[in-house]
Amino acid sequence: MTITAAADGSALGNPGPSGWAWYIDDDRWAAGGSPHGTNNQGELQAVLELLRATAGVDEKLVIECDSRYVIDSVTKWMPGWKRRGWRKADGAPVLNRDLLEGIDEAMRGRDVEFSWVKGHAGHPLNEAADERANAAAKAYQQKREPRRGPGFVPLTDTGATLTEAMALSASVPSRAAQDAALLWAQPADLLDGLDELDGLAASAPLELTISLTAAEHARLRDRADAQGVSLEEALRRLI
């Protein structure tokens, strides 16, 4: 089985408020962005988020992009950049290295193929991704939370869609519940149960392990980028 998805980015002003989105179908898509970025960064971020969301699946992944910069960067130029220590042939540093390194790592051991499609030419998946990426960029421009989407949930063994799988499993939140969910957890939720650790000295550091979905990780990274801090520091500020 092959998973075909579109990845697209948007930047209002380029640079300016930016958005990214990947889209498989109405039950499997995600979007996000940042207050300031470029179109290329949005395009690369969309690919990276798609790879992260589908990590662990065995199916071949075909990524449709309308950006030749993204496709050429990953499939043609990256090997040479890596050999030269992430520098271009003229010695200049490669732009967006952090995103490209993330994509390179996320592709290891996977069957991934890139397919170029012309943007704004009626390709259904590309149009859907473009619409969501642009909406995310506009949301950041208006200083409001963008629609994040349901993320990625594999089809069931019977081929059921995500909507059908949700109806069968009470443990999976509904689309309405996801859309209505708060962007950030309440501080009390993060501290729940810590008052039971009376045996620890007040000054002793506590190590917490938190499992995040791809969408939650993207929201935390957006918050960190907006504040100009690390992911760890952004999480600390929620406590």
**Is 120 an active-site residue?**
yes
Confidence category of residue 101, pLDDT binned at 50, 70, 90: very high
Number of domains composing the chain: 2
225 in Cβ contact with 34 (< 8 Å)? yes
Mutual angle of helices 97-107 and 39-53, in 10-degree steps:
20
Answer whether residue 171 is part of any domain. no
**Is 9 an active-site residue?**
yes
**Is 27 an active-site residue?**
no
Candidate list 9, 33, 37, 149, residue with the active-site label: 9
**Is 43 an active-site residue?**
yes
Question: Do 23 and 107 share a structural domain?
Answer: yes
**Is 66 an active-site residue?**
yes
pTM for this prediction: 0.69
53-96 pLDDT, tens digit each: 999 999 999 999 999 999 999 999 999 999 999 999 999 999 99
Candidate list 27, 49, 64, 66, residue with the active-site label: 66
- For residue 132, the domain's CATH number is 3.30.420.10
Candidate list 90, 91, 109, 120, residue with the active-site label: 120
Candidate list 27, 43, 64, 222, residue with the active-site label: 43
> Where is the domain boundary, 166, 196, 221?
166
121-146 pLDDT, tens digit each: 999 999 999 999 999 999 999 999 99
Answer whether residue 102 is part of any domain. yes
Question: Do 101 and 212 share a structural domain?
Answer: no
Question: Structural domain of residue 120, as residue ranges?
Answer: 2-166
- Residues 63, 114: Cα–Cα separation, whole Å: 5
